[in-house]
Structure formats: structure tokens, C-alpha cells
Amino acid sequence: MKKVYMMLAVCAIALASCKKEYTCECTYTDNLGLGLTIDPVSYTFEAKKADAESACEAYNVTAGGTGWDCKLK
């Protein structure tokens, strides 16, 4: 019976540590001098860290130094 409880405990810890909540913060940079001001945006992901990083990087959009710079916090 102890073995069953140990296995359940190990499985519970493994599952709990896989997915966490990560925040992706994006700021807008206007290097073209257009005078655009956009408030920072944040996204929340409940995923493994590698998956959250990939999703956050997908929000990066830049052209000529102007655009969104997103980083996982």
C-alpha cells in the first residue's frame, strides 16, 4: 500500500511542476519618429516554460527598429 501512495505522490508532484503560469510583457518602440504611443500589453500563458517562451516570442513584430518587443517575465 505504501508503494501505491508513493507512486501517487510522485505523479502528483510531476504533474504539478510541468505547467505554470507565465506572463509575456510586450512594449512598443517607435524608432521612426511617428509619435505613436502605445501602452504595454501583457499576455498570460499556463504552459511549460519552453512553450510559453515560444508563444511569447511569436508576438515580437519589428520593422526598421519599430514594433513590439515581447519578453517572458
Q: How many residues does the chain have?
A: 73
Model pLDDT, residue 31: 81
DSSP characters over 39-53:
--EEEEEEE-HHHHH
Model pLDDT, residue 69: 93
Give strand pairing partners of 62. 67
Instruction: Please give the order of strands across the beta sheet that includes 61-63.
Output: 41-47, 20-29, 66-72, 61-63
* Per-residue model confidence as pLDDT tens for the chain (73 residues): 677 566 666 655 655 557 799 999 999 988 888 788 889 999 999 999 999 999 999 999 988 778 999 999 8
**CB 9: neighbour CB atoms within 10 A?**
10
Model pLDDT, residue 39: 93
Model pLDDT, residue 3: 72
